[in-house]
């Protein structure tokens, strides 16, 4: 009987090697897709995107945390070093979101505030669920006005109060939909009331920025816009980072809970 132990010096794949295929695991695909999403937002905002061995940081040029995504991309051996490198990627006074797919120690001593442990959810292409019914007119944002409508719903419905005073078009600039990103807006008549975005990368669709105005909630608007983003590329599965309150909506659309990530805020 041969030994179960590897030969001396043999490399044992961890799942986070740089040259490993994105599809090595669903979680790896989700991480790489969210890195691409952060890069796309930063590029559209003409900001600065930087990367280290275990992290990436997008600085969209504004003070809002949702313009500044930082993601831990592989398990750090030294969390203090990783946080220090992330800190150096942002100017003083700039807020950012820090997402970690990996078990995370208490980072409050490093100036981070714990937001929570949101679930990563996945909808495979094999799932068959009916499209949610809605009276909204769901349109893809292909014009500057559409993008400004989506942005206004996002700011008011998410909500994003730190972006309320920014000029229209500061978040969703036209460049954001030039690449593999699509933005959708739900209209009640001529009034935009809901929005969602989809980004294709690493073989999956990232669903992000789902927001509904308070006046339109409870009427299926969130499900309708999530569906539009989820099926933007119907030949690939979709991933999203959910809130606990939003999980039932996504489950009805065929999403499965995979694991919980950790979300920190740099105030």
Residue 221 token pair: 């608007």
Is the peptide bond preceding residue 159 cis, with omega within 30 degrees of 0? yes
**81 contact partners, CB below 8 Å, separation of at least 6:** none
pLDDT of residue 35: 96
Task: Tell me the whole-structure pTM to 2 decimals.
Answer: 0.93
Residue 201 token pair: 């990368």
pLDDT digits over 13-59, tens only? 999 998 999 999 999 999 999 999 999 988 888 889 999 999 999 99
> For residue 225, which of 182, 191, 184, 255 has the smallest C-alpha distance?
184
Task: Categorize the per-residue pLDDT at 80 as very low, low, confident or very high, splitting at 50, 70 and 90.
Answer: very high
pLDDT of residue 5: 87
pLDDT digits over 134-158, tens only? 999 999 999 999 999 999 999 999 8
Task: Categorize the per-residue pLDDT at 1 as very low, low, confident or very high, splitting at 50, 70 and 90.
Answer: very low
| Rounded Cα distance, 200 and 204, in Å | 6
Sheet containing strand 69-72, edge to edge, reads 48-52, 55-59, 69-72, 96-100, 262-266, 113-116
pLDDT of residue 63: 62
pLDDT of residue 2: 66
Average pLDDT over residues 184-209: 97
In terms of C-beta density within 10 A (0-12 exposed, 13-18 middle, 19 or more buried), how is residue 136 classed?
Answer: buried
pLDDT digits over 234-265, tens only? 999 999 999 888 899 999 999 999 999 999 99
Average pLDDT over residues 62-86: 89
pLDDT digits over 3-24, tens only? 788 888 888 999 999 899 999 9
Contact between residue 50 and residue 39 where contact means Cβ atoms under 8 Å apart: no
């Amino acid at each position: 009987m041969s030994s179960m132990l590897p030969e001396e010096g043999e490399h044992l794949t961890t799942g986070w090697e740089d040259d490993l295929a994105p599809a090595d695991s669903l979680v790896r695909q989700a991480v790489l897709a969210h890195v691409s999403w952060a890069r796309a937002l930063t590029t559209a905002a003409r900001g600065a995107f930087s990367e280290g061995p275990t992290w990436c940081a997008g600085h969209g040029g504004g003070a809002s945390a949702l313009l500044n995504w930082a993601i831990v991309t592989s398990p750090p051996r030294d969390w203090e070093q990783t946080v220090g490198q992330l800190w150096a990627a942002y100017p003083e006074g700039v807020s950012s979101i820090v997402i970690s797919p990996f078990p995370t120690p208490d980072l409050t001593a490093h100036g981070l505030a714990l937001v929570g442990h949101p679930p990563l959810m996945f909808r495979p292409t094999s799932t068959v669920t009916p499209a949610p019914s809605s009276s909204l007119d769901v349109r893809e944002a292909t014009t500057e006005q559409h993008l400004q409508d989506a942005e206004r719903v996002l700011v008011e419905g998410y909500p994003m109060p730190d972006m309320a005073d920014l000029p229209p078009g500061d978040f969703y600039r036209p460049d954001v939909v030039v690449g593999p990103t699509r933005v959708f807006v739900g209209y009640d008549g001529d009034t935009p009331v809901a929005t969602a975005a989809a980004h294709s990368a690493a073989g999956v669709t990232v669903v992000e920025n789902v927001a509904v105005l308070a006046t339109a909630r409870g009427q299926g608007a969130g499900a309708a816009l999530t569906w539009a983003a989820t099926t933007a590329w119907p030949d690939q599965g979709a991933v999203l980072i959910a809130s606990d309150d939003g999980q039932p909506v996504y489950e009805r659309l065929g999403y499965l809970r995979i694991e919980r990530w950790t979300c920190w805020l740099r105030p």
